[in-house]
Structure formats: structure tokens, C-alpha cells
Structure 1
């Protein structure tokens, strides 16, 4: 059964992939790249650096397994942290008060793929000192609620061509990067008790790091490098579990939205405008 990548997965990966252009010169080439062999494959495949010939997986095999993993699980729980900020070692012209300052968001996500191909998802976003933000929904509606507020917002999903369950966002992203960047297997590393493959995607200006669980081929950590743009994003999974059961009410936020909370319907444009206004107000509050 084809699966639909959740809001968090799409947002996290997309933010990392478009936020910065990194510096490929800071990435060290491994001995495996020196021993790379050409096998008469397509030009795209020829650019993929392979691991040595001792039975270990090649970069291409790791990526193929990661793409396939996106279609294999029925449900997932994940607890992760996203850190954004300005590199303290940057030489770019950045206000001193912003250099080295990072914001950390704790994210908890649940995804469930139903037998009919529909998908339910729920995300909890927590920043220290601020109320928890909840987002839940399916292919028709998204429900958003901020802790302690008296209104929750229900937004109809944007219509897309085809069945969302047939979209593999991870496949699209990996294929695009394999076309645009040199790919290398940097080695194996343990991240939060998960043994991972460390892959890099680089060109003359940028490096994108991926750490992929060797057992399930889920992405455990994402990180970017850039010499010109000091903005950094790190996304790291602290723990996760596959194929667990959920009650449907859990994806309607019934455990956090009280009977006294009003549910207000919004269209996409109205909701986006409100979100932008909230961000602008937060920036103004910080500047005061």
C-alpha cells in the first residue's frame, strides 16, 4: 500500500532542503569514493559514490531502502527535536545578538495509514515557556489548537491531483538531490542508540547530511552546512516506534480540546493570513 508522508515529514525535510545552501568544501571525501566503480548505469547513477566491495550496502541501495521504507509502515510514533539558528562561527554580516542563538522545538508526531488508503496524523509542537500547539487531521480537514485557548480552527485541505496516498515525498526529494548533488557514504554512526548510515549530498556550495537507521531505514537526523548563509537547521529523532494502534478520536484532539472550546471553520487563505499575523506580532514583541 502506498503511504502519504505527514505534515511534519514534509515540513521538516523541505525546511532543511530549501533553507540554506551549504559549503561542499567542508565535507571530507571518504576512501570509498576513491574506489568508486562505474557499471554502465545511467548518468544519474554513475554520480552515486559506492561503498567498498566487502558486502556493505552502497549509497544507492541505502537510498532505495529509505524510499521503500516510506511505503512499508502502517503507523508511526516519533519524538524529535528541530533546532534552528545562526552559526556562531560565521563570518557573515549578522547582528551580534543573533549569532549563536538557536531556537529548539520539540515535536511529537503520530501517523496512521488506514486500510482504505486514507491517512490520519497528529503533531504536538512544544517550545520551552510557550503553550503546546496541536495539529491533527486527515486528507479532508486539519484541526489546529493551542493549549489554553478557547478556539480551535478547522481548515479544509487543499485539493491535489491524484490520490495523496500515492505520493512518496521522500522519493521525490532523494531523486532530486541525486540529480543535483554528489552523493557519498561518510560512514556509520550511532545517533540516540540507533546505528545509522551517514550520507552527504554536496555540490560546490552546499552540504546536506542525512543519518539513516540501518534497521528500518527511517531518517534519524538531518543537518545542513553553508559558508555563505549562516542559518542552520538540525532535525533529530530522539525515539520512534513503528506499527502501533491508535484510537480515531486521538486524531480529532478530543483528549486536549474541552467541551467549552469553540471549533471555527476557516478556509486556507484566511488561516494562512492569520498565521502570518501571529508571526509578525511575535517578531514585534521580541523587538520591544
Structure 2
């Protein structure tokens, strides 16, 4: 019987590898025999990866929003692998900007797109010459919010929707070189990104005039309650999808990593008003009344 996976080894770059899904992916790929380059923003994060996971991991200082940092990362990786090329690029770095669109500071909107969209494009452009050498693979880490926009996560949803479009375009554009492009859609996972996003959202709200905050106070409380009751997925489920996208003989274009995510496909088919109602009900906002 033909196997659905092929043994692959070689060099893989993972962005946002200091913790969470990125670090877990670095761990799994290193254990599987890949040469792992872990993109981190601080030297201390790279040292921690080597200490806690494996001394074989090569940390790469990489701020995906900084063109100079991206160029230096290419030099670092090339210096190690020479002409061997990359077999995989995992665009995992990301941030979450929470809150109603009206209240999100514009600088936070820009930051969301710089990290979740523009940074991924910049890294992909920079490392494509190395990926062409091996007919490598690109795995973008998206989110279900890119397929169905969630109230009070509108800015995040917009950035992930943009990443969906970029992924679709790249998949066709890079086909002549045999470069596979997949996107992984993780459920909410047990990682520190949610704590960081909540803290950042609170800091941003402190800049908003009190009277404007009061307009949304009941809705924000309801959303916080709904979020607190949400069960979080183990990161290993997401890592397994990333590894599958990297090693499968015929990788899927999209991987859903977590429970209940196939309902997203159903939600996308519903009439807009029906979908809006279901989402508002899920967030405890079905009977929300405006505050004047």
C-alpha cells in the first residue's frame, strides 16, 4: 500500500518560533530529523530554545516587519546551508488585535497588518530563491477568522482574510516551480498569544475616551465571558497539521486543526444575516441594545 507521506529532511525556517505553535513545531521537526532554523526576535529566546528543546536548532534573529532583519536572516540561513536550499518555510509569526473596530487605534491596525500580512509576504519573497532550489513548501498559519469574520475581532479577521488571499495567489503563481503552498487554520490554542493580546487590548483601551468605552462596555463584557468559556486546543494538533503539510506526498491546500472548525465551511455558505445572528448568539450579543 502506498504511504500518504514521504520521508523528507532538510532545512526548514519557522517564523515566530520563540514560543507556542512555533516552538512546538521546531521541537517536532527537529525530532524528525529536519534542520530547523527558528526565527526569534531576541537572542535570549533562541538560547532558551536550544536549552529547552535541542542544541541542534539554529536560532535566527528575525523581526519580520523589519526589512534589514529579514535580509540578515537570509544571509544567516544561506551561510549555514550554502546551496542546499530550504525544503520548507513556516510563516507562523502573528499577533492578535482585539476589540470593536471603532475603538482599535489606527497604529494597532497597521501593526496587525504589518505582522500578519506584510511581514509574511516579505519573508516569503526573501526566501523564495532558497525554496526554488528544492521545490520546497510554504505553510502559512492562518485562522478561521480569515474565513468568517468574528465581531470584536474585526481587525484580526481582516488580516487573516488577506493572508488567505495571498496564500491562494501564491499557490497558483509558484506552481511552475513545484512549490506547494498550504494554509493551516488552527482553533484557539493553549498558547501565550491570547494572554498577550488581552494585555495589549487593555492597554489600547486605556487610550480611548471613557464615554466611548461606555458605549461598548456591555458588549465587551459579554464577549469576555464567551471567550473565557471557550475550550482551547492543544498546540500539538496544529503542529501535526503543519508537519502533514510539509511531508505529505500530496499536501492539501488547507488544513483545519482543531475541533468544530469544519462548521466554518457551513457558516460561509449561510446568508449574511443568518450568519451574523448565529455569531452574535454565540458571543452572547443576540439581545444587545445600544447605549446612548
> What TM-score does the superposition give when structure 2 sets the normalisation length?
0.23
- Please say which structure displays the higher CA radius of gyration: 1
- The structure with higher relative contact order (CA 8 Å, sep 6+) is 1
Name whichever structure is richer in strand by fraction: 1
